[in-house]
Amino acid sequence: MSTTTLSTVSQHAPLRLVVAGSVDDGKSTLVGRLLHDSKSILADQYDAVESASRSRGATEFDLALLTDGLRAEREQGITIDVAYRYFKTDRRSFILADTPGHVQYTRNTVTGASTADAAVVLVDVRNGASAQTRRHSALLSLLRVRHVVFAVNKMDAVDWSQDRFEQLQAELHEIARGVGLGDVVAVPVSALTGEGVVRAAPDWYLGRPLLALLEELDTELEDTAEPFRMPVQLVIRPRTAQYPDYRGLAGRVASGRVQVGDVVHASPSGTASTVIAIDTPTGPAEVAVAGQSVTIRLAEELDIARGEVLTTDDPIAVTRVLDAVVTWMGDAPSAARQRVLVKAGTKTVRAMLGPVTDIWDVSELRWTPSSAPLQLNDIGRCTVQLAEDVAIDEYRRLRGTGAFVVVDPATGATLAACMSGADLGALVP
């Protein structure tokens, strides 16, 4: 039976990518270009889009129609929801979130970016950096997205002017410094023609095309270098003749790595034991890393259930009070002392919202003291009182186990996407 190793796991980990930008900067066309040129389109999809392009009077294949799946989007020519797409190349697979460009859909951008390893921000070279460029840059910094690529689009419309690109590139780097973004690069592209996206850009640009750049982002090593975290999703006890004593803790490794022989702690219960085996869909393994779904067996039969979080030597916080940054998604405004459910990892508990203390001004890019209820698309700070202990990290430190959602207990609708820790945005002036 084969044994999975760290290297064989890491090379297949997908890149979680969010694409943002202002309306008409070319997001959907860029995503369509990536899907088309990576040959990730089924034949019937291609035929349907080709037919739709002709019916709209277009003389060429409209790449944007590959992602504008909603009727309202097609009618208005905009993207109003987060459209997730999966595609792969010979070197990497991608989970791509295409987010809307309008200010009123800021919550969708936050949703798409909250789990992203990297972001592509579209900028129309003719218009330069817009208010949305600054807003999205600040949000990506707020949400701790590790890698940001500014795709300077529609370069064919300015005859691939090197002077114009370098002027805009300097401005984008200045914006990135201003909002605290770290790893930033600008790439000249034309989503319409494909130059600079998959194919090489003009000779004066010495960097790699956009897709090659994304293929080489080294996020796996960063994930595995973080502290080990695995929320327990299921306790497996088959109790069959073949496996009479089998007891395993199944879940997805959110961050870090664990190996046979490690001592793991379960939180909030506070119990601990030694890993004696790691089972994967392809057989037993000596090590498991971030992104893998595995079953861990321990030396002792501890009372560990769904909702606990396994760690190694770096402890996770256990609390009943969360100070959080909240993106409100409910149609009705929030209310102090509103009774809700909180889903953190694999655990769901009853909870109550505290008063709002600040609201994020997406135009001025700063926190403003306010106790007003959160309206749809608002980003604010508030506390959440939990009915039970929950194991959770601060989002700024570990994104995988630092986020949670607020749910309406009556309807099951998601009311808010939240990040634990109220100091997010401290780098933004």
Residue 34 has pLDDT above 70, yes or no: yes
Q: 139-143, 223-227, 423-427: lowest mean pLDDT where? A: 423-427
Note whether 188 and 289 are same-domain residues: no
- Is 0.85 topped by the overall pTM? no
Tell me which residue of 286, 263, 423, 428 sits closest to 358, measured CA to CA. Answer: 423
CA dist 31 and 120 (Å) reads: 10
Residue 232 has pLDDT above 60, yes or no: yes
At 63, the pLDDT band (50, 70, 90 cuts) reads: low
Q: Which domain holds residue 330?
A: 317-420
Helical H segments across 66-218, by residue range: 71-76, 106-113, 131-142, 162-179, 210-215
User: Which of helix, strand or coil describes residue 160?
Assistant: coil
Highest mean pLDDT among 138-152, 154-168, 290-304, 367-381: 154-168
pLDDT in tens, 398-428: 888 998 999 999 999 889 988 898 776 654 4
Q: What is the mean pLDDT of residues 342-355?
A: 95
Both structure tokens of 354: 């505290």
Q: 199: domain CATH number?
A: 3.40.50.300
Note whether 87 and 182 are same-domain residues: yes
At 99, the pLDDT band (50, 70, 90 cuts) reads: confident
CB atoms within 10 A of CB 385: 14
- Bridge-based pairing state of the strands 118-124 and 15-21: parallel
Note whether 131 and 171 are same-domain residues: yes
At 192, the pLDDT band (50, 70, 90 cuts) reads: confident
Tell me if 427 is assigned to some domain.
Answer: no
Domain limit, last residue, from 290, 311, 332: 311
pLDDT in tens, 241-297: 888 889 999 999 999 999 999 999 999 999 999 999 999 999 999 999 988 999 999
CA dist 292 and 66 (Å) reads: 30
Domain limit, last residue, from 296, 311, 326: 311
Domain limit, last residue, from 189, 215, 241: 215
Note whether 292 and 325 are same-domain residues: no
Tell me if 45 is assigned to some domain.
Answer: yes
CA distances from 245 to 239, 302, 360 (A): 7, 14, 53
Tell me which residue of 230, 339, 241 sits closest to 291, measured CA to CA. Answer: 230
Tell me which residue of 387, 388, 378 sits closest to 418, measured CA to CA. Answer: 378
Output the pLDDT for position 5.
37
User: Which of helix, strand or coil describes residue 194?
Assistant: coil
Sign of the Cα pseudo-torsion (179, 185, 187, 192, in order): negative
Q: Which residue has the higher pLDDT, 201 or 355?
A: 355
Tell me if 150 is assigned to some domain.
Answer: yes
Residue 224 has pLDDT above 80, yes or no: no
Note whether 251 and 194 are same-domain residues: no
Tell me if 5 is assigned to some domain.
Answer: no
- Number of compact structural domains in the chain: 3
Note whether 206 and 254 are same-domain residues: no
- CB-CB contact of 24 with 153 (8 Å): no
pLDDT in tens, 115-132: 788 999 999 999 999 888
- CB-CB contact of 124 with 25 (8 Å): yes
